[in-house]
Structure 1
Amino acid sequence: MQKHLLSLLMKREASLLIHFTVFDHQEEDLPKKKEAEPVLVRLQRVSDARHLDDFSLIKTLRARMRESKEKSC
């Protein structure tokens, strides 16, 4: 019985250790996240601007298709 309880306690401690390790890494990554946010926001704006206008998107796709057709011929 004692071995079983000891085993359960060790598993519980290991589980807690894993959770605390994950939490520590999350805390370390917060400054990196804050540093990367402006770049991600700019990339999202560029992406939105490119895909917002359907006409320009279709025009670009058609130009790519023509280029690939010319290369294959």
Structure 2
Amino acid sequence: MDYSDADLPVEINEADVVTLADGTTVRYEENGGARDVMIGGDWSPRCTLYPGNTYDLDAGGKAYVLSATDSALKVAAA
């Protein structure tokens, strides 16, 4: 499923994509209980998050917080 900045905060599953206000995309792949988070068109993870971990992302001058849950990745404006 595809989400936009207007949908935030949102919890995404592995096949989902969030397109932020500046066009940056956020998605993840499951990796042994962790979330390998890909930003933009990258195929290498920008970060790997375990449940309870967060990552601060700046995209187009706007701040976002990515948080791993037990079953998803939460994307929210900071």
Question: Do they superpose with TM above 0.5?
Answer: no
Higher CA-based Rg:
1
More helix, by proportion: 1
Q: Which has the higher contact order (CA 8 A, sep 6+)?
A: 2
Length-normalised TM-score, structure 2: 0.15
Length-normalised TM-score, structure 1: 0.16
